Structure 1
Amino acid sequence: MSRPFSVNVAWIAASSLVENVTSILIFFLVARIVGTEAFGIAAMAFAFLFVGEFLVRDTVTEAIIERQTLEEGRLEATFAVLFGVALLVVLTLCLLAPLIARLYGEPDVAPLLMAGSPAILFIGASGVSTALLRRGQEFRTLAIRDALAVVVGGLVCLALALGGFGAWSLIAQRAVQVGTSATLSIVAAGWVPRRVPTKSEFALVRGLGPSVVLLRTTSLIITQTPTVALGYFANPVAVGLYALAFRLIEIVSRLAVFPLRGVAQSALADLRRRTGVTAHFFLDVTQITALLSFTAFAGLAVIAKPAVLLVIGPDWIGAAEILPYLCFAGAVNSLVAIQEAYVLSIDYLRRFLYAGMIEAAIGIPLIAVAATYGLTAAAAAVLARSLIAFYFRTRVARAAEVISWSRYMSNLATPFVVAVGMALAVGLWGEVVDGHAGDLVVVATSILLGTVCAVGLVVVVMPDTATRVLNLVRRRE
């Protein structure tokens, strides 16, 4: 793990911090303003919008990052295919919007879905530019782009929410954020298609691209199954509560996992081109990811109730009740995210895709049945699905370079001990101060105590990792 890797992670981490601090502030303010029902209706529309986005984002462009060399015409062919898919997705979503609204029993979903879908065209137009920036490991540029896009989109959303636009403010936020990000990517990369690709050049898009499209589709089905199931079997309030809890999980993931995942894929691909051996680096990244995500999610689970009461109010307390289930699932999924980056970087995707399909196939009936029993049952089903799928996903990732179960799991043991020790300390502190201090004091002191405990436990039970992280920052080559 060289210094360039650590510098890139630092840039992405700084960007994620700015993004998420901005997102958190605006998210909670908007949630308070629009209320649970409007928030839930917007989440119903986003369930399908995100499927459309992920069919286009980081799909056929992944080969640009992974390939040893870029053949003549690959970029133009990829752009044409990607923009064509984006246009097809937008038209499909607009045509299906009335049917989706009837499925939910919420007519307001249709216009929201139709208004939000054109943002997918921006993703298609900027896909090649973003991939070129990632291939060149221009993560400083990507970090600045992401932070600016979130700030601009968030300010527009807040202004519209204060103006009484309700769920429409959330749709506008997404459109502005995606449009800003796309524009900055195109300008930074300095690439635009200069000719129409030939038939033979379109053939270059085959291979990794279609498999990634299937992977992204499967991932979105997995992610959005609870939202759709609760929308169909429950009501907008249940969807809103789940969406809030899931958003908190997403924020923690972006802070703890996204910087490592985003840089790791490019770094692993580069390492594979140079040496052909990536297993040791993959295990190192896995252990650091486990340490960050386990402790972050354990801390959130312990302080879920006072945190929700503090930042968003008692109307959203239902979200706090399901957060422990989703935190556990989030910790498991953080490891899967690194596995996905790993198999993408070494072009070992097909079996990993099959494992994802198994997860989707298990999750749809499991969560649909659970949703009929309410929000908590659905959250428990999400956790059960993640644990079952983890076995299949890990089995595939290990097979890529013949990593044994004992070697892989040993990288998770000490991060788990650190997370449990920290959670016990914070939980005991919460019991001590319960009823004797306000939510602000409880949350602030719990975060401080958890941080101190986590750092202390890392030094005691993971001294080699602590040293390795310090060396990672200090190394010059």
Structure 2
Amino acid sequence: MSNSIRPASFWSFINSFATRGLSFAFFIPLTRKLGPAPLGVMAMAIAVGVFLDAVIDLGLSDQFVRHQDAKDQKFFSTVFWAQVIAAGVLGLAIALLAPLAAHAMHEPGLVLALRAVALASFVTAIGLSPVSWLRRGLEYRAIAIRNVSATFLGGVVGIYLAWNGFGLLAVLSLHVINAITGTIVAVLSAGWRPSLVFSLSSLKQVGGIAANTFFTRVLEAGVSRLDQIAVGAFFGASALGMYSLAVRLYDILFQLLCMPVASVMLPYLSVYQSKTAELRRRFLDVVQVVSLSAPPIFMLAALHASWLIGTVFGPQWLGAGPYLRIVLGMGVVQAFTFTHTVIFAASGKTSVNLGVALLSTVLWAVFLPLLPTYGVIFAAVLWAMRAAIGVPIQMFFLKNVLDMQLREYVRSLTPMFIALAGMAVVSFFIFIVGERAKINPFAVHIVSVLAGGGVFITIAVGLSSKVKDIWMGIFDTLKGQAS
């Protein structure tokens, strides 16, 4: 990866680690204090909120980042007003329909939860364009400050309210205050203000690409959260609380390890969208680095899922263990294949992402009626199938978009395959020895994590010069920040 994006990559990872780390730190005491039911109600509301956020974006935030003319204030302002108007109209509709949804789901608390999520989405919409302005300038230091401030303030208020008996209101307050703080800091940091102008002709310039992005994200948001709505409707808030804990832990890991790369990849690779050979080379470099960073963490977490839940969240959450193993197991694959969607967006081939999302929707429509028969575990299986089915389709189009041979892609992943195999062998060996020797289970898990991780890192560094370059780049950036 070039020197020009190293500071952006560094701050993107700092942002993700600090934000998700704080979020996870606040999430643990909330789960212990509140239990599955309130978090299940919140999961239903957040499912609607994620869909709402995808609609409000209108597929325009990425176009805001990709737009080549930095002085085209008419275009940027039009994007801002389009997103804010969409948020206002849709937020009001959700607030009015909340009682009907609560009655249908038999959850009275869902009224307040949906209205809080609608408010948070409206406030977030105001900050979408300022954040996009920061992204296009690779100002990830400012984005990191914005996200950490929002997460910290929201978490402090949420914990305070939870410990004072406010229950569901605690997690709702956390969500709303997070959105308000994040938007205020983004607006102040960007130094960009919209003009009082709205031009449909400006939007038409990017209409096709934006529409594909819009429908892709709306479908993905709907399908990705449809499982939680269905689990809540069929099995109640407590069962949903268990299931949503597993999905939440996956999401924390994915946002922590993968989204910083995705965020930097889009502006970085968009520069080379008309130079196929250079775009292919840089993409394969990124894929190799990503494959040697995130997948081993997902695999270790999957191997130690039940111990992780029991130790961190308490025995009342052990029922989430089977779901967590399934979603984290699929996470090993998603931890590097997410780069496919980014390269399609960077090269303007967003129709591929839309096609994969449509296929996932069809899959859900076909198998969802079986959920009441096979139980919550089937929702986790469907979740994994939805993620897996798009990979071969993406590979077919990757070959055409990048004029790439399949063996080139496999070659970039070879160090990961070898390192994961070595890590798995060592981890299982330690499990077997520990069980036969009747060693303390806690000690066995710790040794397994350390030994397995150590083997993976040793193999990765030995087989990939790209990983060495990244570590040296991080070291140089740290020295530069210190000085």
TM-score bracket relative to the smaller structure: over 0.9
Cα separation, 1, equivalents of 2:179 and 2:354 = 27
Cα distance, 1:31 vs structure 2: 0.4
Stretches of structure 1 that go unaligned for 5 or more consecutive residues are none
**Aligned equivalents of 1:266, 1:326: Cα separation in 2:** 29
Please tell me whether the aligned partners of residues 6 and 473 of structure 1 are also in contact (alpha carbons under 8 angstroms): yes
Q: Contact 2:58 / 2:83 at 8 angstroms: preserved in 1?
A: no
Aligned to 1:180: 181
Alignment-derived partner of residue 448 in structure 1? 450
CA contact (8 A) 2:8 2:138 kept: yes
Alignment partners' CA distance in 1, 2:125 and 2:135: 16
In structure 2, the residue matched to 1:320 is: 321
Match of 2:440 in 1: 437
CA distance in 2, matches of 1:99, 1:404: 53
- What is aligned with 2:115? 114
Partner of 1:26: 26
The corresponding residue for 1:225 is: 226
1:415-436 deviations in Å (ceiling 9; x for gaps)? 1231232133223323433553
Q: Which residue of the partner structure matches residue 358 of structure 1?
A: 359
Specify the SS of the correspondent of 1:121: helix
Per mean C-alpha deviation after superposition, the further-off stretch among 52-61 and 184-193 is 52-61
In the alignment, which residue of structure 1 is the partner of 2:263? 262
Q: How much has 1:453 moved relative to structure 2?
A: 1.4
**AA at the equivalent of 1:437:** N
- Relative distance call for 1:443 and 1:103 in structure 2 (3 A) is farther
Residue of structure 1 equivalent to 2:346: 345
Q: Is the 8 A contact 2:344 2:352 kept in 1?
A: no
Q: Which amino acid is the alignment partner of residue 38 of structure 1?
A: P
Sequence identity percentage: 23
Is residue 178 of structure 2 the alignment partner of residue 169 of structure 1?
no
Classify the secondary structure of the residue corresponding to 1:28: helix
In 1: Cα distance, 2:18 partner to 2:73 partner: 38
- Residue type of the alignment partner of 1:420: A
Q: So what's the TM-score if we normalise by structure 2? A: 0.92
Q: Does 1:36 align with 2:36?
A: yes
Judge conservation of contact 1:3–1:474 (CA < 8 Å) in 2: no
Distance 1:245 1:322, change over 3 A: same
Picking from 444, 460, 472, the partner of 1:458 is 460
2:61 counterpart residue number: 61
* Structure 2 CA distance for aligned equivalents of residues 371 and 267 of structure 1: 45
CA shift for structure 1 position 326: 0.4
**What CA distance in whole angstroms lies between the structure 1 residues aligned with 2:280 and 2:297?**
25
TM-score, reference length from structure 1: 0.93
SS at structure 2 position matched to 1:449 = helix
Q: Specify whether residues 100 and 410 from structure 1 end up closer, same or farther in structure 2 by C-alpha distance, changes over 3 A only.
A: farther
* C-alpha displacement of 1:370: 3.6
User: 1:90-101, aligned counterparts within 5 Å?
Assistant: 90-101=91-102
1:314-357 residue CA offsets vs partner (Å, 9 max, x unmatched): 11112112222101222233334212221112211112211211
Secondary structure, counterpart of 2:108 in structure 1? coil
CA distance in structure 1 between the aligned counterparts of 2:266 and 2:225, rounded to whole angstroms? 24
C-alpha separation in 1, matches of 2:259 and 2:200: 37
Cα deviation, 1:373-409, whole Å, max 9, x if unaligned, reads 1222221222222222222233233322222322223
Distance of 1:302 and 1:129 partners within structure 2 = 40
Report the counterpart of residue 148 of structure 1 in structure 2. 149
Taking a change above 3 Å as real, the CA distance of residues 201 and 470 of structure 1, as seen in their structure-2 partners, is closer
The reply to whether residue 49 of structure 1 matches residue 49 of structure 2 is yes
Letter in structure 2 aligned against 1:75: F
- Find the aligned partners of 1:228 and 1:410 in 2 and give their Cα distance: 40
Per the alignment, do residues 287 and 276 of structure 1 end up closer, same or farther by CA in structure 2, a change over 3 Å counting? Answer: closer
CA contact (8 A) 1:56 1:82 kept: yes
Change (3 A) 1:42 1:474: closer
Aligned partners of 1:211 and 1:353 also within 8 Å:
yes
Say whether the 8 Å CA contact 2:295–2:336 is kept in structure 1. Answer: no
Please give the per-residue CA displacement for 1:217-262, whole angstroms capped at 9, x wherever unaligned: 0110221021012112222222111111111111211222122111
Cα distance 1:180–1:275, how it changes in 2: closer, same or farther (>3 A)? farther
Q: Say if 2:77 and 2:197, in contact at 8 Å, map to a contact too.
A: yes
Which letter does structure 2 place at the counterpart of 1:436? Answer: I
8 Å CA contact retained: 2:143, 2:186: yes
Residue type of the alignment partner of 1:54: A
Distance 1:219 1:366, change over 3 A: same
Q: What's the CA shift for 1:446?
A: 3.2
Deviation track 1:175-229 (CA, whole Å, cap 9, x = no partner) reads 1111111111111111112323245445446233222221210110221021012
Gaps of 5+ in 2: 478-483
